[in-house]
Amino acid sequence: MRIVVAEDQYLLREGLTHLIRSHGHHVVAAVADAHSALRALRQHRPDLAVLDIRMPPTHSDEGLQLALQIRAERPEASVLILSQHLEQLYARELLANGAAGVGYLLKDRVFNAATFMEAVERVAAGGTALDPEVVSRMMRAEPASSLASLTDREKDVLSLMAEGLSNQAIAGRLFLSEGAISKYTTSIFAKLGIEHNGAANRRVRAVLAYLNSPRAV
């Protein structure tokens, strides 16, 4: 897999490059600012761009803007945004035009190499990786009545679906069988009245559209 890394902090950039390489992937460019990142992305057309959200020149949200721009140019481009802080607002902007090949994670997730690389590979393959922290903020922002019909287990499954995990991955996380998970998902969709759709990343969008959408309570 060919990956471009854009991160202005030297240590983290080196760390990321090293981590990705050690998992057998190819870092075709590791850059430190948004302009070089755009150039590298256009030139290499990588399988995945790992972008820090706050980079020179303005140190605001260039990573996010860059991701939106590159996906507008090339809708199949996969981007993984890393940030020190998470915002539902940014997550929604990133996912507005489809959840396929989009990731948004806290920088700390790098600490756990295995799960982080799992997310990297999922996003590069056209899946979704939404940080558990954003998802839990979305769940917390729900009016109490909206998820009241779900059992605790179903809420766990809903969170993991929103993060972008497939049934198989959810089963792995919760130590359950894939069949059990698929029963849970059917029941969740029925209770919340969400249109069921097989592909994991479409499912993310459906779940997010449900969470925190303005609706009568």
List contacts with other proteins (CB under 8 A). Answer: 54, 60-61, 84-85, 87-90, 92, 108, 111-112, 137-138, 140-144, 212, 214-215, 217
Q: Which of 60, 151 has the CB closer to other proteins?
A: 60
Q: How far is the CB of 132 from other proteins (least distance, A)?
A: 12
Helix (H) / strand (E) element for 80: namely strand 79-83
Q: How far is the CB of 94 from other proteins (least distance, A)?
A: 13
Q: How far is the CB of 45 from other proteins (least distance, A)?
A: 28
Q: Which of 87, 156 has the CB closer to other proteins?
A: 87
Helix (H) / strand (E) element for 81: namely strand 79-83
SS3 content of the chain, % helix, strand, coil (to 5): 55, 15, 30
Question: Would you list the DSSP string of 14-74?
Answer: HHHHHHHHHTT-EEEEEESSHHHHHHHHHHH--SEEEEESS-TTTSSSHHHHHHHHHHHH-
Q: Which of 74, 85 has the CB closer to other proteins?
A: 85
Q: Which of 57, 215 has the CB closer to other proteins?
A: 215
Q: Which of 90, 210 has the CB closer to other proteins?
A: 90
Q: How far is the CB of 42 from other proteins (least distance, A)?
A: 24
Is residue 130 within 8 Å of residue 91, measured between CB atoms?
Answer: yes
Q: How far is the CB of 166 from other proteins (least distance, A)?
A: 25
